[in-house]
Amino acid sequence: MGARVPGPRDPVAKASAGSNPAPRIARGDPRRLRRTELVRRLEEVPEFVDGNARLEQVATPAEAAAELLETALAAGDLVDRTVADLGSGTGRLAIGAALLGARHVTGVEIDPRAIRVAREAAAANGAAVEWEETDVRSWNGHVDTVVMNPPFGAQRRGADRPFLDRAFGAAAHAVYAFELAASRSFIARRAVERGAYVEAMRPVPWELPRVFPHHRRERVPIAVDLWVIRTDKQR
């Protein structure tokens, strides 16, 4: 089944005003780091061990992470840009951004255990990332681009809201984020409220592995979207 086409009063359509609401998302430049190599290196970044269910600590799938990063790369939002990964976990997005040419990358993460894993993984990949151990609501940095896979709110309703609000306030140019498809209207409205607009939104393949005691199945497919939200006023 194809993606729903928003009507004129739909918040997704309003957030996309002045742009194509469903543009093709381009691939990255394979001359920098081939897709297969990028995915391989992201897969080598460890997942959470004894992850915290309340924080929804589930690693970003390597293929999805590569899709987000290559989208940002193709749009000119990584190379020589300052980048922040909000809720960076074990570091897949932050490390990938550094590998693809970001000028400075900051990983913002509340869990010191995850930061230790991320720091080791970054060193193993030769990726320069600054890690900040703090709640995203307390982080007051400003960057060109924000990348993130925030909590989806499965354990705490609205858990993604502080991440979205901070991303819109921190990013000078763009936010690249994963979110549940069920949150489309909310995210589009939030973008409008913050003076941003949706450049692209598309479903990405996503399977939730069994990582917490309450999970019963080995893997469960879930409906997740990749969002590209412009926060600058020049485009």
Q: What is the CATH number of the domain that holds 171?
A: 3.40.50.150
48 in a structural domain: yes
135 in a structural domain: yes
Structure tokens at 183: 């949150």
Residue-by-residue DSSP string for 13-29:
HHHTTTS-SSPPPPPP-
pLDDT (tens digit per residue) in 162-213? 999 999 999 999 999 999 998 899 999 999 999 999 999 999 998 775 454 5
- pTM of the shown model: 0.82
11 in a structural domain: no
Domain range enclosing 191: 30-209+218-230
3 in a structural domain: no
Q: Please report which confidence band the pLDDT of residue 216 belongs to, taking 50, 70 and 90 as the band edges.
A: low
pLDDT > 90: what percent of the chain? 63
Q: Which residues of the chain form beta strands (DSSP E)?
A: 82-86, 104-109, 130-133, 143-148, 171-180, 197-204, 207-209, 219-221, 224-230
H or E segment to which residue 224 belongs? strand 224-230
The structural domain count of the chain equals 1
**219: exposed, middle or buried (Cβ count in 10 Å: 0-12, 13-18, 19+):** exposed
pLDDT (tens digit per residue) in 3-50? 343 444 555 554 554 444 433 344 444 346 899 999 999 999 987 566
H or E segment to which residue 221 belongs? strand 219-221
2 in a structural domain: no
18 in a structural domain: no
Return the top range by mean pLDDT from 54-63, 138-147, 160-169, 207-216.
138-147
